[in-house]
C-alpha cells in the first residue's frame, strides 16, 4: 500500500510515481527522489513530526528564487509536512572550476542588499529555530541573535556547559574589537555546508537547504571553510568580485565560525564543545 504522502503527491501532480528512492540529507525531513510515470524526476521532503516546518524551507527557496539568480530548486508544494521540488542533477564534489563558478554565484548573491540585518521572518538552520529580527547594527545582530541565542539554546538542552556559556557571553560583549559594520546588509544562503551544494562537470547546478538572512557576507565565506567545502580556487575567484578586508583569515573567519559551531553543539554536543573552547581561547575568553 502506498504511503499517504505519495498518494497526496500523485493527486497534486496528476502523475503516478513509479519509484521513490531515499536520498541522504535533510535535517527536518526524510528526502526522496521521485521517478514519475512520464519520465520526470522530483524531490520530496516529508516530515511527520509535531514540529514539522518544511513550509519555512519552501519559503526560503522561493525567496532566493525571487530575490537573486542563485540556482535553487523550483518549489511546487510547500506545507509544514511536505516540500515538493524540482530535481537537480549533481553531487557534492567540487573541482577548481566548480569552486570558481560557486564564487561567481555567491559574489552576485552578496550584492543583493537589504534594509536591515536579519529578515522579514524567522527561519531555520539545521532544523533549529533561527531568529531574524530586523536590526540596524550587524555587530548587535551577530552578538544577540547568533552567538548569544545559539549558546543559550545549547546550554538549555544541556550540551554546552554553563562555564563555556559565560565565556561566549564574554566574547559577545567584545565583538567590536574585531568586527566593524559592513557596507550594507547582504543576502546570504546561510548554510554553506558541502552537501547543500550540487555540482556537475565543473559547474554548480544548485544550492539547497538554505538558512537565509541579510548579514555580513563574510559569515558565509567563513562557513565555507569550516568543514572544507571551498578553498583557494574559490577565494581567488571571489576576490575578483569583492576584496576581503585584512584580518579575515587570521581573525574574523574563526569568530564567525563560532555560530555554526554552536549550531553543531546544540544539535550534537560532544567534540564540538572543544572546538568552541579553542576559538574562545584564541580571543582571550
Q: Maximum CA pair distance of the chain?
A: 61
Res 47: pLDDT: 85
List the chain domain ranges: 4-86, 96-282
Res 24: pLDDT: 75
Q: Which pTM does this prediction carry?
A: 0.95
Query: Residue 31: how many CB atoms within 10 A of its CB?
Result: 19
pLDDT truncated to tens, each residue of the chain (285 aa)?
A: 457 888 888 888 888 889 988 887 656 678 999 999 999 999 999 987 767 789 999 999 999 999 999 999 999 999 999 999 999 999 989 999 999 999 999 999 999 999 999 999 999 998 999 999 999 999 999 999 999 999 999 999 999 999 999 999 999 999 999 999 999 999 999 999 999 999 999 999 999 999 999 999 999 999 999 999 999 999 999 999 999 999 999 999 999 999 999 999 999 998 899 999 999 999 999
Res 50: pLDDT: 66
DSSP per residue, 147-166 = IIHHHHHHHHTTSS-HHHHH
Environment class of 203 (CB within 10 Å of its CB; exposed 0-12, middle 13-18, buried 19+): middle
Res 12: pLDDT: 85
The CATH code for residues 96-282 is: 3.90.1200.10
Which parts of the chain fold into alpha helices (H)?
4-13, 54-67, 96-109, 138-141, 149-156, 162-172, 218-226, 232-238, 253-256, 258-268, 272-282
CATH superfamily of the 4-86 domain: Phosphorylase Kinase; domain 1 (3.30.200.20)
Amino acid at each position: 500500500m502506498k504511503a499517504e504522502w505519495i498518494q497526496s503527491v500523485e493527486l497534486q501532480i496528476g502523475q503516478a510515481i513509479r519509484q521513490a528512492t531515499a536520498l541522504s540529507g535533510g535535517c527536518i525531513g526524510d528526502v526522496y527522489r521521485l521517478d514519475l510515470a512520464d519520465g520526470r524526476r522530483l524531490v520530496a521532503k516529508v516530515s511527520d513530526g509535531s514540529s514539522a516546518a518544511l513550509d519555512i524551507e519552501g519559503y526560503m527557496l522561493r525567496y532566493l528564487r525571487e530575490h537573486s539568480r542563485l540556482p535553487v530548486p523550483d518549489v511546487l508544494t510547500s506545507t509544514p509536512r511536505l516540500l515538493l521540488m524540482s530535481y537537480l542533477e549533481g553531487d557534492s564534489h567540487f573541482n577548481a572550476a566548480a569552486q570558481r563558478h560557486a564564487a561567481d554565484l555567491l559574489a552576485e548573491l552578496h550584492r543583493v542588499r537589504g534594509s536591515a540585518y536579519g529578515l522579514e521572518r524567522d527561519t531555520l538552520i539545521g532544523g533549529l529555530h533561527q531568529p531574524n529580527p530586523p536590526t540596524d547594527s550587524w555587530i548587535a545582530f551577530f552578538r544577540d541573535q547568533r552567538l548569544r541565542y545559539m549558546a543559550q539554546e545549547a546550554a538549555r538542552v544541556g550540551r554546552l556547559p554553563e562555564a563555556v556559556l559565560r565565556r561566549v557571553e564574554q566574547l559577545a560583549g567584545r565583538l567590536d574589537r574585531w568586527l566593524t559594520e559592513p557596507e550594507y546588509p547582504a543576502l546570504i544562503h546561510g548554510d554553506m555546508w558541502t552537501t547543500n551544494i550540487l555540482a556537475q562537470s565543473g559547474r554548480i547546478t544548485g544550492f539547497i537547504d538554505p538558512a537565509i538572512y541579510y548579514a555580513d557576507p563574510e559569515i558565509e565565506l567563513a562557513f565555507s571553510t569550516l568543514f572544507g567545502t571551498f578553498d583557494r580556487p574559490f577565494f581567488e575567484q571571489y576576490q575578483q568580485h569583492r576584496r576581503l578586508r585584512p584580518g579575515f583569515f587570521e581573525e574574523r573567519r574563526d569568530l564567525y565560525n563560532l555560530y555554526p559551531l554552536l549550531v553543531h553543539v546544540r544539535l550534537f554536543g560532544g567534540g564540538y564543545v572543544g572546538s568552541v573552547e579553542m576559538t574562545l581561547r584564541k580571543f582571550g575568553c
